[in-house]
Copies of this chain bind each other. A is one copy, B any other.
Amino acid sequence: MSTATVESINTEILALQNRIKELKVSKQDASAEVNSMKALKEQLKTLTKDQEANGGGSGSNFTLKTPKGTIDHKPEAALLRKKIFSTLEGIFLKHDASTIDTPVFELKEILAGKYGEDSKLIYDLSDQGGELCSLRYDLTVPFARYVAMNGITSMKRYHIGKVYRRDQPVMTKGRMREFYQCDIDIAGTCDPMVYDSEILKILCEALTALDIGQYTVKLNHRKILDGIFQLAGVPADKTRSISSAVDKLDKLPWADVKKEMTVEKGLDEQVADKIGQYVGLKGPGMEVLEKLKLDGDLMAIPLAKQGISDMEILFRYLKVYKVLDKMSFDMSLARGLDYYTGIIYEAIHESSAPPSKSVNPPVPANASASSSKPVKTSKNAIINEDGIDESTVGVGSIAAGGRYDNLVGMFAESAGKKMNEQVPCVGVSVGVERVYSIMESRRKATQEKVRGKETEVFVLGLGGVELEKRMEVATLLWDNGIKTSFSPKVNPKPPAQWKQADDDSIPYVLILAPKEYAEGKVRVKAQLGKDQVGAEDNKGEEVPLDNVVAYLKEKLGRS
C-alpha cells in the first residue's frame, strides 16, 4: 500500500462510515463494508506507528507554527508590503531599471566564500543525491552571477525578493530569518560617481516616498578608510579585521572598539590612536570634505586622495539632485561585507538606535546565570525565545549598499571565462521588513483602519429573490470590472447578509427586492458609518438595472 497515506485512509474510512450509515438506514447488509473498514483501521494503525518511528507523521501531535524566524503575512500585512514594493518599483522604473528574478537557491559554490564570517548564517539544502545548493543570502551575489553568466557589460536592474539568513531573530524589530529585500544595482562603466550619485538619489526618493519620517544617509569611501589605515600604519593583512572593528562604532563606544583592535586583533596602540583621530569625524558632506582636504598627511596618501576626490564629485552631483542635505559624511562607517571597493552608505531612521541610553549591546537573559549582575527587565520588555529583550534592540539600518567593482569579474574568472574588463557595480538594498516595522508603528499610532480586501459592492437579496438572481447580477458587475460579493446561502436572512457587508467594510450594497427586481430596478445604498451624518436617513437610491453598472462606476470614481 505504498500509495496510501494517513489522509487518504481517513478519507476512505469517512466514506465507508457514510456508506454503512446509508445501508443501515435502508436496512441493507453492511457486513462487507464493516469488514473493509476494520481492515482500513488496522492499516491506519500500522502506518501511523511507522511514521512515528520515523520521527513524526500526520498522526502525531505537533505545534502548528511557522519555522523559527519566519512568519505568515496576513491580508492587511500583505497589502502593506505590496504598497511598499509598488512604491519602490515605481521609483526604480522611473530610473531606467529592469527587473529580473533568480531562483531562491543557488549552487553551494556560488555562495561560498562571499560573505566572510556571515557564511555560517547560510541555509543549506539537504544532500538528496543531486547538486548541493543553498538558499540565497542576498540579491547581490545572484546578480553578479547573472551578469557574469550572461556576459553583460551594462545593466540597471532591480530585484524584489526574499532572502534567507539563519540569524538570531528579533521579530518585533523586523529582523527575521526569511525577509524581503528590494535592491537596485547598476552594472557597467560610467564617469566617476555618476551611477553612484544616481543610486543615492534613488535611495532618497524611495525613503521620502515611503513617508517613514526623518532619515539620514551615512556615507564613507573604502579608499579613504584604507588610506587612513595606511597613514596610521595598519599592516595590510589586518585591514579587514580592523575595518570590522571600526564598523562597530555605531553600537560601541570608542574605548571598547580600541580595546578590540589592540587586545583582540593585535594592533599597536599608537596605530589605533591615529585611527581614532579620524573615525570620530562626521557631519555635512562639504564640511567634512574641507577638513580632509586640509589634512596634508592624508592627502599625501594616493588612495585617500582618490577617495576624497571621488567624494567631492559626488557631493556636487548630490547637490544637483537636491539630496545633499540628507547625507552625513561619517568616517566611522565601514560596513561588514568584504566586496565593497568604493563608496559605501547606510540609511538610518530616527528609530534606528536602541531605545535605551546605553550604547552596550542588549544583554541576553541567560547572562543572569553567570556571576555578573542580574538583568533587570523593564515592564515593557519583550523576551523572545532566545531570551533577548526585543524592546532594547533598535531597528538598525533601513537600507545599505556601496560600490563593488570586482565581484562580477571574480565570478567570470572562477568560471574560466575570459573577461576583457571588469564590470563595476554600485547598488543599494532597502530593508523592507525594517521599513514595514516603522510603517506599522506609525499606522497603529494613527489608528488607521486597514482593509484586507478591496471588495466594492455587496449584492443583497431580500425576501425570496433566488440565489441565481444574485449570481446573475454579480456576473454583470464582474464582467464590468466591479469587485463584488454575495452570501453563499441559497436563502440567507437579511441580518446575516448585512453583517457580511459590514464585517468586510464593503462600501456599497446593491439590494434586490422581488417587486423592484420584477420592474427592472434595484436599490444601491452607500454604507456610511453609524456615527456619520445622514446615516439614519440613508435609504439608498433606486436605480434601473440597465444603468446600475454606469451608476456604480461613477460612484466608485471610474470611467
Contact = CB atoms under 8 A, between A and B. Distances in A.
Interface stretch (A13-21, A253-261, A288-296, A529-537): A13-21
Nearest to A130: B68
Nearest to A478: B94
Interface string A75-115: 10011011000000010011111111111111111101111
Given A205-B478, A483-B96, A488-B195, A241 B3 contact: yes
A216 interface: no
Report the contact-size class of chain A (Cβ under 8 Å from the partner): 35 or more
Chain A at the B interface: mostly helix, strand, loop or mixed? mixed
A154 to B, nearest CB: 9
A542 interface: no
Interface stretch (A55-63, A276-284, A363-371, A436-444): A55-63
Interface string A335-359: 0001101000000000000000000
Oligomeric state, in copies: 2
B61 A414 contact: yes
B191 A468 contact: no
A98 B75 contact: yes
Contacts of A414: 58-62, 64
A81 B110 CA distance: 26
A43 B16 CA distance: 71
Contact of A19 (B55, B302, B322): B302
A556 interface: no
Interface of A: 1-8, 10-12, 14-16, 18-19, 22, 33, 36-37, 39-40, 43, 51, 55-68, 70-75, 78-79, 81-82, 90, 93-110, 112-117, 123-128, 130-133, 135, 145-146, 148-149, 156-157, 162, 164, 166, 178, 188-191, 194-195, 197, 201, 205, 226, 230, 235-237, 239-241, 244, 302-303, 316-317, 320-322, 338-339, 341, 406-407, 410-412, 414-417, 452-455, 467-468, 471-472, 475, 478, 481-485, 488-490, 504
13 contacts: A10-B410, A15-B226, A19-B230, A51-B112, A60-B414, A66-B102, A72-B100, A75-B99, A94-B484, A123-B128, A188-B488, A320-B472, A321-B471
